Structure 1
Amino acid sequence: MAVRGDSGDVVARAKAGVEWTDAFADLESADFPMLWALTPYGDAVFNQRQMPLLLAELDRLPAPCGGDWVAQARELGQVVQRGQHLYLWFLGD
């Protein structure tokens, strides 16, 4: 995970990545539309207007999907919210 600006420059980076488990397959798209967009192999990008939805989903994420990455995603989301022209990137393999 990383926060990037419009030019692609990295503003902040997480130390942990998303810990993919089978529990992610159980997330309902209607309940977790932002997190449901994540895949282990593709990139997903979230903008400033999407941050409140993403952060709310992180707050109610089931424990089996959790890990160190959740707190770091929250921190990076706050960086996006405080800045301008910033995006939170989830980078797949």
Structure 2
Amino acid sequence: MVAYGDAVFHRCQVPLLLAEFDGLPAACGGDRVGQARELCEVVEQRVHRYLWFVGG
């Protein structure tokens, strides 16, 4: 098993993350990308909010 690190995005980085999502092939989209987009919206609403992806 390969362990992956965590990734943290703050409010100013979220637009770049959304642009990365836009560049994904359609086969890589789906529910998880949609859920991540919703969480990005939450982070963008106020300062001092972060989006954490916790590796395993």
TM-score range, shorter chain: 0.7 to 0.9
| Contiguous gaps of at least 5 residues in structure 2 | none
User: Is residue 91 of structure 1 aligned with residue 54 of structure 2?
Assistant: yes
Runs of 4+ in 1 over 3 A off after TM superposition: none
Deviations along 1:9-68, one digit per CA (max 9) or x if unpaired, are xxxxxxxxxxxxxxxxxxxxxxxxxxxxxxx62110001000111111112211232221
- Counterpart of 1:27 in structure 2 is none
RMSD, aligned α-carbons: 1.4
CA distance in 2, matches of 1:69, 1:89: 14
Same amino acid, percent of matched pairs = 65
Q: TM-score, normalised on structure 2?
A: 0.83
Output the amino acid matched with 1:85: H
Q: TM-score, normalised on structure 1?
A: 0.53
Output the amino acid matched with 2:21: L
CA distance in 2, matches of 1:87, 1:56: 17
**Greater relative contact order: 1 or 2 (C-alpha under 8 angstroms, separation 6 or more)?**
2
- Counterpart of 1:26 in structure 2 is none
Aligned length: 54
User: Is residue 59 of structure 1 aligned with residue 22 of structure 2?
Assistant: yes
Aligned residue for 2:19, secondary structure, equals helix
Q: Which has a greater percent of helix?
A: 2
> How far 1:84 sits from its partner (Å)?
1.4
